[in-house]
């Protein structure tokens, strides 16, 4: 398949990942139809056309699948019925099985365990008795997560291994009787991620692993090259590529890892899409994660993942907006060489909401981190 002409890419989801995907697809000569599901954040405005209807709207399904040649997703929390119906009509990359596996923690953990990928020890609970039993069996501090549709620390509670029955009973009520995943609480040394792209023909490329630092369960900054031993980085790349092959994946995939204080490398989560920790690739790599997503789903050769410069990506949350509709003054940050500002076009800022990011480039890592901390001082954020 070649670029240009009247070839349309369909994007399911109306957030910032779809926004950046649209920009790269249009740059390559494709047209983009984004089915937002009714998301009115404003981030998807870069598409050629918007289908601003709910994902269960039958008319929207007909329009979407009749207009586009191939479809992809920009986030995983999509109705499985919609994904399957799209897939019955046109190619969907990644496929519905992959997306529904990654959107559901129980299915994701089962996939990892079944295929021999190291993940945190876990138990599944669907009632109070199995909840108590699962915590007792792990014999350690645990994190309990909703089985479905969790991200950025949402739907999670942490417990000590010796929590009393009364505390557990009260906690179980907070999950409204749904299924939960109980995971061992890992003593963390560092978090990292690996982003890969894979084509339908099995061609794969891998970006340099990323060192990630979170604040309040939300990604704060990503550092490349990662300050992690080379043997660990190579191991992470090998696992990420093996996961892509196990899924027979098509598109851009992110695998998030924990490195424990005992040196265990453990898969935390899989994201079947471009990822927040890969935003640095827009400015610091030969071919961005978004361009490689387009290349993969449209049957084009994958692009180079070469890192052109040391880089740090810093998320910009709604917390730094003076009010819901007023952006900060970016002048001090943009006056620094090697900075690139990306604002997502969301109409309203909220605490914890991802509103944009800044990429910092430099000659070496020390210089880049100095720029990051100078910017954080301007924004009244803690030092990185």
- Assigned CATH for 121-184: 3.30.1490.20
Reading the block at residue 312, the tokens are: 């740090």
66 vs 237: CA distance, rounded Å: 38
Alpha-carbon distance of 252 to 196, in angstroms, equals: 6
Q: Tell me what pLDDT residue 160 has.
A: 72
User: What is the model's pLDDT at position 1?
Assistant: 40
Place of tokens 């926004």: 19
Give the number of other Cβ atoms within 10 Å of residue 306's Cβ.
Answer: 12
Beta bridge partners, 70, equal 9
pLDDT at 149: 65
C-beta of residue 215 within 8 angstroms of C-beta of residue 384: no
What fold, for 8-92? Answer: Rossmann fold (3.40.50)
**Closest by alpha carbon to 313, among 236, 384, 222?**
222
Q: Taking the CA of residue 327 as centre, how many other CA atoms within 13 Å lie in the half-sphere pointing to its CB? A: 15
Residue 340 φ then ψ, to 5°: -140, 125
- Which residues have CB under 8 Å from 335's CB, separation 6+? none
What is 188-378's CATH topology? D-amino Acid Aminotransferase; Chain A, domain 1 (3.30.470)
Maximal C-alpha separation, the chain: 64
Burial of 53 (0-12, 13-18, 19+ CB in 10 A): middle
Q: How crowded is residue 35: how many other Cβ atoms within 10 Å of its Cβ?
A: 33
pLDDT at 155: 66
| Burial profile 111-125: b = 16 or more Cβ within 10 angstroms, e = fewer | bbeeeebebbbbbbb
Q: Is it true that 121-184 and 188-378 share their CATH fold?
A: no
Closest CA to 302 of 252, 256, 377: 252
Low-confidence ranges of the chain (pLDDT < 50): 1-4
**Residue 162 confidence (pLDDT):** 66
Model-level pTM?
Answer: 0.93
Residue 164 is predicted with a pLDDT of 61
Q: Residue ranges of the domains in the chain?
A: 8-92, 121-184, 188-378
d(CA 56, CA 46): 23
């Amino acid at each position: 398949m070649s670029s240009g002409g009247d070839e349309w890419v369909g994007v399911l989801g109306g957030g910032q990942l779809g926004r950046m995907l649209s920009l790269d697809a249009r740059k390559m000569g494709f047209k983009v139809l984004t089915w937002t599901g009714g998301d009115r954040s404003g981030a998807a405005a870069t598409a050629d056309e918007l289908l601003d209807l709910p994902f269960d709207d039958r008319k929207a399904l007909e329009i979407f699948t009749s207009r586009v040649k191939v479809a992809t997703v920009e986030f995983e929390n999509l109705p499985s019925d919609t994904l399957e119906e799209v897939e019955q009509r046109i190619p969907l990359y990644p496929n519905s099985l992959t997306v529904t596996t990654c959107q559901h923690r129980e299915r994701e953990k089962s996939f990892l365990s079944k295929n021999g990928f190291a993940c945190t020890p876990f138990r599944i609970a669907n009632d109070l008795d199995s909840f108590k039993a699962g915590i007792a069996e792990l014999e350690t501090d645990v994190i309990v997560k909703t089985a479905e549709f969790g991200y950025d620390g949402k739907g999670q509670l942490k417990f000590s291994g010796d929590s009393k029955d009364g505390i557990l009973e009260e906690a179980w009520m907070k999950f409204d009787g749904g299924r939960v995943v109980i995971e061992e609480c890992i003593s963390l040394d560092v978090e990292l991620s690996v982003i890969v792209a894979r084509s339908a023909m099995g061609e794969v490329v891998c970006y340099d692993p990323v060192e990630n630092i979170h604040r309040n369960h939300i990604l704060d900054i990503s550092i490349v090259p990662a300050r992690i031993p080379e043997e660990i980085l190579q191991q992470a790349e090998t696992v990420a590529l093996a996961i892509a092959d196990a899924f027979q994946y098509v598109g851009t995939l992110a695998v998030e890892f924990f490195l424990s204080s005992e040196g265990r490398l453990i898969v935390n989560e899989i994201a079947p899409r471009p990822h927040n920790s890969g935003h640095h690739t827009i400015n610091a790599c030969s071919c961005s994660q978004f361009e490689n997503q387009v290349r993969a789903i449209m049957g084009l050769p994958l692009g180079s993942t070469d890192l052109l410069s040391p880089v740090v990506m810093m998320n910009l949350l709604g917390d730094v907006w003076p009010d819901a509709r007023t952006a900060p003054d970016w002048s001090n940050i943009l006056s620094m060489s090697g900075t690139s500002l990306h604002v997502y076009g969301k109409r309203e800022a909220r605490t914890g909401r991802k509103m944009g990011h800044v990429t910092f480039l430099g000659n070496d890592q020390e210089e880049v981190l100095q720029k990051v901390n100078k910017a954080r001082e301007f924004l009244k954020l803690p030092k990185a």
